[in-house]
Structure 1
Amino acid sequence: MSNRFLSAETVIESLRDNGYNNTAYALAELIDNSLQATATRVEVGFIEEQQEARKNYTVSEISIWDNGVGMDLDTLRVAMQFGGGTHRKDTGGMGKFGMGLPNSSISQCKRVDVWSWQAGGEPHHTYLDVDEMKSGTLEDVPIPTAKAIPAKYEKAFFTKRPESGSLIIWSKLDRLSWKTGKSIYRHCEHLVGRMYRNFISDDNIKIESITYRKSADERLDVYDKETFKANDPMYLLKNTSLPELPGSYKNEAFFEEVDKEVISVEYIDEDGVPKRDDVTITTSIVKSNIANKILKSTSKSLGATVWGKHCAKNIGVSIVRANRELVLRDSFIPSDLRNYKGRFCAIEVSFPPTLDAVFGVTNNKQDAVKLIPYNMGNISEQAGFDTEAEFKRDLFNNADPLLEVFKVTDVIAMQVKDLERKLKEINIAGKAIKGTDEPKTVSEGAASKATQGSAHRESHGHKTSDEPTKALKKEDVVDHLKKAGGMSDEEAEEKAERLILTGNRFLIEDVARDSEAFFDVSRSKGLTLVLFNTNHVFYQKLVSKLDSDELEIMQTTIAGFARVMNETTDERKLAYLNTIRREWGIVISEFLQGPEDEELDDF
């Protein structure tokens, strides 16, 4: 029985679970290393082969090579150690934690082989193997030895091998998020393009994705080839993955810069000396002239166009470290803004690695865990203080770096409010639905069926927070319809009068919304408004084709869900129901919009 202080098997399995969200993030660690090595080209290869019992091709190996400066023997061996690496003192680069190459690799596979060469010299090789590490047969990183790159890789990857560079091969893949080269690229495309947008757009680096297929004689043939394009959530860069803008705007940026604020943040360096460095917060917003140009040529809202759908994938505050994005955090954007106009504004927070400890940057460079929205009242109370001022004074007296974080998050909150005000001046709604003069009115049958019995329960003491037994007031209804439903004064007046006349407290309407949800529910002053989103793929492909009886069945179903939300007084349960509503809309969109040629193995 072993008396080792640590169990190799347990430690290795724990390291394999070290928090990489998916294969794309793991590959990003290797791209970071290439950039740190001043590479100008990186190729990510997905090597597919047919399994014996199946006809479909699946990825059996992943390769990544670059034309960076390469590694000498000592550097190569240290780079394969957990917590090794040579960039810990580099305050300006992406590296520093010394966990990237080994950690990211074993998070996806059981074996990683690395070759590196310099100045036209012979490649040297070393490796890690999870099975050997767990069994104890591999306790040290093997000393790198001169070893030729296998011919199948050499011939497939290089027309001429770079003077210097590195090649990494992942094999014995057992934890991939996706199974085909096409699927991995598709899921990586948006994320990798966003992470490295600044490097790609400046032509500092070219990142390619190539899918190879292995033939019976071990030859690798190119099956598919793509180049990663910059994906800029600020929409200030040109020549990105955003579809070409119309007319004379095709060479312009989609957004314009609104503000740029620099905040000086204090930190303690490794020698315990207080120092300061800058955080830059930049905001941008869609150009109104481009928005108007697009809306003139379509009956859709701006959010339903190809440009709006692209923006929908980039909602949030982009947190950037050393010019590379860590995370896009949407929790800074209020849900009502996020589900409507929030895709047409953007915020970027950029800082150097010197501030890693202040902002809680994780060693896998996927997050800055302290850069989140804070409810100061709740935090102060939980910490045992009567006021926010007392709490902040205590942080100051204890030199707590959280006070420096608040400097940044307070500015972010103010910038969000400023963008929200500016967005009110920009039209994104577009015209009415084609073939109609206005969004069609939905029958009241569904609403009445779904709400039968409500009054009976209310008379037995189940009273909702808005006291719906009180008579509706026209001014309240009009205000609700204008704010939540986006109706004009005239339309809101007409609907309000009808509701008061019929006594109905539910209204179901079809409107064009910039939202991932198929329907929205809002309640105020006794009126529940359910809005079917005509821009949603479920509406366009299915609901719009229903006859009147079928439509009433659908409306009754949704109105029933709305009634459950309407009668829920528990805030946590209501938040849960809202999450279900949004997630259902996203899932059904992905299902209905999925590529027709998707292979079964990708499910």
Structure 2
Amino acid sequence: MGDSVTGEGNNYRIVSPSLTVKAMRDSGYKNTAYALAELIDNSIDAEASLVQVFARESPFEGATQTRHRVDRIAVLDDGKGMDKDLLRRALKYGDGLGGDRNRIGRFGMGLPNSSMSQCTKVEVWSWKNSAANALYTYLDLEEIANGRDDVPDPVPSRVPEYWDGLSEAPLGKSGTLVVWSNLDRVKWHGAGATLRNTAELIGRVYRHYLKDGAVTIKMAPVRDGKVLEGKNGWYYAEPNDPLYLMEQSGTPAPFNNTPMFEPFDMGSEAEPGVYHFPIPTPDGKKYTVTVRASIARPEARRPDVPGHPWPDTANPNRDPGWQTWGKHAARNIGISLVRRGRELDLDSSWAIGYNPVERWWGVEVDFPPELDEIFGVTNNKQTATVFSSLSDFDWAAEMDPDETPKAFRDRLKEFGDPREPLLGLAQFLGELLKKMRRKLLQQTFGNRKGKKRHDQDVTSKATDAVKRRHEDGHTGTTDRLAQETTEAEKRQQQLTALTERHHVDEDTAQTLVDEALENDWRVRWISSPQDSSAFFNIDLLAGMLQVSFNTEHPLHSKLMAVLEDVPENASEAELRQRLARATETFKLLIFSWARMEDEIPSKKDRRVIADARSDWGRYARDFIEDGSEEE
């Protein structure tokens, strides 16, 4: 019976060779860079200090000219190498090399899975006693499709002189070379494009290793048997820090040698921008998750911060998101999940996709390997499914009526819901992001979204209206306070209101006050989170009528954000949609006032409200008309 069910020719295999090949190929790697990261994981686990990545291209005749396309990718390291048994096991799917949680790659899937997602043949040379004594084996999808179900026995084979000759450093006593050929799924065609697109992601995934000098990763495009020369030749993978706190990084100037962000205060004076969150496991143990948070320094978003001018190459009239460093930050949006110093994923599901401000905050969640199952780490180490599922967790929608949060969590725990251990962390992150977004809104008063000129026009028109009414004998509290206050007192009063009442950073507040005094502006519009049901509040200051729009009120997101937070590349259809939404919101606002009058039971009180409405209409006419209309 044994021969009848195990023979190569039977038609009753649980998994057919063709299905096996498809499973190997469709392993879910986002692109070539993520697949390459698996090989670099192995190099770091092998204690390599230098990893070299080669992309070799060869010519082919295009429709009108000769072009070049990548036909080989190789990763060469100086790690401790593998013996015959370990080498063979390394090419076996799910072997169990990953039993050691101290490894970056612990699932025993990385080398074969990542390789076959990009190519049809992977070859491996590894040595522990000089490259001349290397062992060699391979996987070939064509052979597997034809029925091969074992990894070829490694045989002695010297490292090919071709790759030896390309190495910038002499091959060490030990090391490993992995070569991909028949590259039928590489996303990018040319060697330069392949490595450029790879370097930024590799720099982010291994930023902590690169910063600490634990490993050096070099990349080189190869043509005609040699590494290209000059700026197109060898280059290092630089740290790419989505928190932008590293002094030396691959961020564009002027933030390549100084942090672009600063730690966001989470209450710890000893560790600014750091919070340690305990996570329990089903076996009763607790492990610590470290949360790090940062937001942009004002000079990253404003060209007028004293002592921090933008470089001459930047356009001060363009939105900061369109500057080179802003575009860099746009590619690093999300919460960075880090396991043993290696980034698993930059989870953008926690960001508000349409909001350009999302690029200006950074959050890193660093967790130990013991929490892999809790976070839902996938075998290709590209995401943590349970953690990602909590980005839009809605407590109100999932809780039963009258159920307390504790009872809700107890119920989830009883049902074995995999999200339950991370609910506290998710709630903490949600509140943290709200605070960071509020802070970021304060940074760009008077310059937000590149609409400074428009804001100044509105401020000037409102100021003219205030002055006209004053000249006509209508005196306000701000006018009386101005007569009783010196310029220095006026300045300090405005600074105090901005920094203490509305939590504007000191540099921005100073700029706003200087600008107002220089132009003799009598009004100021700001957005500020307020614990009030009013959608705006008023500060009556000496010579300054300050209106603060409540960012916590639904009108802010339904009206102001719709009109102001418009991407510069928004399509005509999107603009029309935004205008329609704003019009709808404005009409609902007026209806809400009408209903308020409708529900006032006293005729006398209704007359008072109706008179106030008429008075507001007259004031609106005075402010909207600029005083130049002909009688």
Same fold by TM (over 0.5)? yes
Q: Which residue of 2 aligns with 1:404?
A: 421
Q: Which residue of 1 aligns with 2:249?
A: 240
1:76 equivalent to 2:67? Answer no
Q: Distance in 2 between matches of 1:434 and 1:379?
A: 41
Q: Structure 2 matches for 1:353-502, cutoff 5 A?
A: 353-372=369-388, 373=391, 374-380=393-399, 388-398=405-415, 400-427=417-444, 430=447
1:222 pairs with one of 198, 221, 228: 228
The alignment partner of 1:56 has SS state of strand
Q: Which residue of 2 aligns with 1:43?
A: 52
Q: Which residue of 2 aligns with 1:132?
A: 143
Q: Which residue of 1 aligns with 2:276?
A: 262
2:212 pairs with one of 184, 190, 202: 202
Quickly say closer, same or farther: Cα 1:159–1:346, change in 2 above 3 A.
Answer: closer
Quickly say closer, same or farther: Cα 1:432–1:386, change in 2 above 3 A.
Answer: closer
Deviations 1:216-258 (A, max 9, x none): xxx3443532211101011111110112337xx9545642353
2:27 pairs with one of 11, 18, 24: 18
1:306 equivalent to 2:324? Answer yes
Aligned-partner residue type, residue 427 of structure 1: T
1:275 pairs with one of 285, 288, 295: 285
The alignment partner of 2:66 has SS state of coil
Aligned-partner residue type, residue 423 of structure 1: L
Quickly say closer, same or farther: Cα 1:126–1:293, change in 2 above 3 A.
Answer: farther
- Figure out how many residues of one structure are paired with residues of the other and give that number: 463
Deviations 1:317-373 (A, max 9, x none): 11111111111122223457x423x32221110001110000100000000111131
The alignment partner of 2:11 has SS state of coil
Q: Which residue of 1 aligns with 2:336?
A: 318
Q: Which residue of 1 aligns with 2:595?
A: none
Aligned-partner residue type, residue 294 of structure 2: S
Quickly say closer, same or farther: Cα 1:564–1:427, change in 2 above 3 A.
Answer: closer
Quickly say closer, same or farther: Cα 1:160–1:375, change in 2 above 3 A.
Answer: same
Deviations 1:541-595 (A, max 9, x none): xxxxxxxxxxxxx97x7654546667999xxxxxxxxxxxxxxxxxxxxxxxxxx
Q: Distance in 2 between matches of 1:197 and 1:238?
A: 12
Q: Distance in 2 between matches of 1:385 and 1:78?
A: 55
Quickly say closer, same or farther: Cα 1:7–1:399, change in 2 above 3 A.
Answer: closer
The alignment partner of 2:30 has SS state of coil
Contact 2:276 2:290 in 1 (8 A): yes
Q: Distance in 1 between matches of 2:416 and 2:293?
A: 30
Quickly say closer, same or farther: Cα 1:491–1:220, change in 2 above 3 A.
Answer: same
Contact 1:432 1:438 in 2 (8 A): no
1:116 pairs with one of 115, 126, 129: 126
Quickly say closer, same or farther: Cα 1:377–1:113, change in 2 above 3 A.
Answer: same
Q: Which residue of 1 aligns with 2:159?
A: 149
Quickly say closer, same or farther: Cα 1:435–1:241, change in 2 above 3 A.
Answer: same
Contact 2:356 2:565 in 1 (8 A): no
Quickly say closer, same or farther: Cα 1:254–1:564, change in 2 above 3 A.
Answer: closer
Quickly say closer, same or farther: Cα 1:568–1:22, change in 2 above 3 A.
Answer: farther
Q: Distance in 1 between matches of 2:574 and 2:83?
A: 64
Q: Distance in 2 between matches of 1:528 and 1:405?
A: 31
Contact 1:530 1:559 in 2 (8 A): no
Q: Which residue of 2 aligns with 1:597?
A: none
The alignment partner of 1:350 has SS state of strand
Quickly say closer, same or farther: Cα 1:14–1:440, change in 2 above 3 A.
Answer: farther
Aligned-partner residue type, residue 25 of structure 1: Y
- Note the C-alpha offset of 1:129: 0.2
Larger of the two Rg values belongs to structure: 2
Aligned-partner residue type, residue 413 of structure 1: G
The alignment partner of 1:207 has SS state of strand
1:107 equivalent to 2:117? Answer yes
Q: Distance in 1 between matches of 2:350 and 2:457?
A: 35
Quickly say closer, same or farther: Cα 1:346–1:528, change in 2 above 3 A.
Answer: closer
Quickly say closer, same or farther: Cα 1:167–1:293, change in 2 above 3 A.
Answer: farther
Question: Where in structure 2 are there 5+ consecutive unaligned residues?
Answer: 1-9, 266-272, 311-315, 459-511, 513-520, 527-555, 586-631
Does 1 or 2 have the higher relative contact order (CA < 8 Å, sep 6+)?
A: 1
Q: Distance in 1 between matches of 2:341 and 2:446?
A: 34
Q: Distance in 1 between matches of 2:579 and 2:561?
A: 8
The alignment partner of 1:26 has SS state of helix
Aligned-partner residue type, residue 394 of structure 2: N
Q: Which residue of 1 aligns with 2:613?
A: none
Q: TM-score, normalised by structure 2?
A: 0.66
Q: Which residue of 2 aligns with 1:56?
A: 67
Contact 2:299 2:308 in 1 (8 A): no
The alignment partner of 1:255 has SS state of strand
The alignment partner of 2:173 has SS state of coil
Quickly say closer, same or farther: Cα 1:436–1:165, change in 2 above 3 A.
Answer: same
- Note the C-alpha offset of 1:390: 3.3
Q: Distance in 1 between matches of 2:264 and 2:226?
A: 46
Q: Distance in 2 between matches of 1:172 and 1:385?
A: 61
Q: Distance in 2 between matches of 1:142 and 1:528?
A: 61
Aligned-partner residue type, residue 215 of structure 2: I
Q: Distance in 2 between matches of 1:359 and 1:305?
A: 36
Deviations 1:366-396 (A, max 9, x none): 0011113111222336xx9956443312123
Q: Distance in 2 between matches of 1:106 and 1:489?
A: 67
